[in-house]
Amino acid sequence: MSEMLFHPGDTIGGFAVLVHCGAGAFGQVYLVRDGSERKLALKVLSPDRRGERELAGLLRFQRATHPNLLRIGKISTLPDGRIFYTMDPADNAATPPDYAPDTLARRMRERGPLPPGELKNIMLELAEGLAALHRTHLTHRDIKPENILFINGRATLADAGAVGEFDGSTLVGTPDYLPPEVCLGKRAFTAADDCRALGLVLYSALTNEAPRKFPSTPLTLALPEEIALFKAAERACTPPGVSAYRFRELLRHPEKAAPRRKRRRIAFAAATVLTLCIISAVTTAAYLKKRQPTPAPAPDQKEVSVKYSKAFVQKMKSDGAELHAEQERMRSPAVQPVGMNRRNEVNSAEPTAAELVNKYRLPGDGEKLVGRWLAVCADFDRRTSLAYTVRNDALVAKLTAEKKAKLPYGIADFCGNEMRSRKLIDILLRDYTPAKRQQLETALQYRRDALEKFLKKLPPEELAKWR
Question: Would you say residue 335 lies in a domain?
Answer: no
pLDDT at 301: 46
Q: How confident is the model at residue 287 (pLDDT cuts 50, 70, 90)?
A: low
The vertex-416 CA angle with 415 and 420, nearest 5°, equals 115
pLDDT tens-digit map of 1-28 = 457 888 999 999 889 999 999 887 778 9
Same domain, 154 and 74: no
Same domain, 118 and 161: yes
| Eight-class DSSP state of 177 | G
Same domain, 120 and 233: yes
Same domain, 70 and 137: no
Same domain, 199 and 80: no
Point out the domain boundary residue: 87, 117, 143: 87
Closest CA to 247 of 362, 125, 101: 125
Same domain, 50 and 123: no
Question: Would you say residue 75 lies in a domain?
Answer: yes
Same domain, 177 and 72: no
CATH code: domain of residue 44 = 3.30.200.20
Question: Would you say residue 361 lies in a domain?
Answer: yes
pLDDT at 329: 65
Q: How confident is the model at residue 387 (pLDDT cuts 50, 70, 90)?
A: confident
Same domain, 73 and 139: no
pLDDT at 345 over 60: no
Question: Would you say residue 333 lies in a domain?
Answer: no
Same domain, 445 and 377: yes
Q: How confident is the model at residue 263 (pLDDT cuts 50, 70, 90)?
A: low
pLDDT at 347: 47
Q: Which 3 state secondary structure label does DSSP give 30?
A: strand
**CA 176 centroid distance within chain:** 20
What would the mean pLDDT of 383-409 be, rounded to a whole number? 85
Question: Would you say residue 462 lies in a domain?
Answer: yes
Same domain, 70 and 165: no
pLDDT tens-digit map of 264-277 = 566 666 667 777 77
Question: Would you say residue 321 lies in a domain?
Answer: no
Question: Would you say residue 137 lies in a domain?
Answer: yes
Same domain, 72 and 122: no
Q: How many separate domains does the chain show? A: 3
pLDDT at 295 over 70: no
Same domain, 368 and 404: yes
Question: Would you say residue 285 lies in a domain?
Answer: no
Point out the domain boundary residue: 256, 289, 312: 256
Domain that holds residue 132: 104-256
Answer whether 0.75 is exceeded by the pTM: no
Point out the domain boundary residue: 192, 221, 256: 256
Distance between start and end Cα atoms, the chain: 53
CB under 8 Å to 28, separation ≥6 — which residues? 1, 4, 5, 6, 20, 22, 43, 44
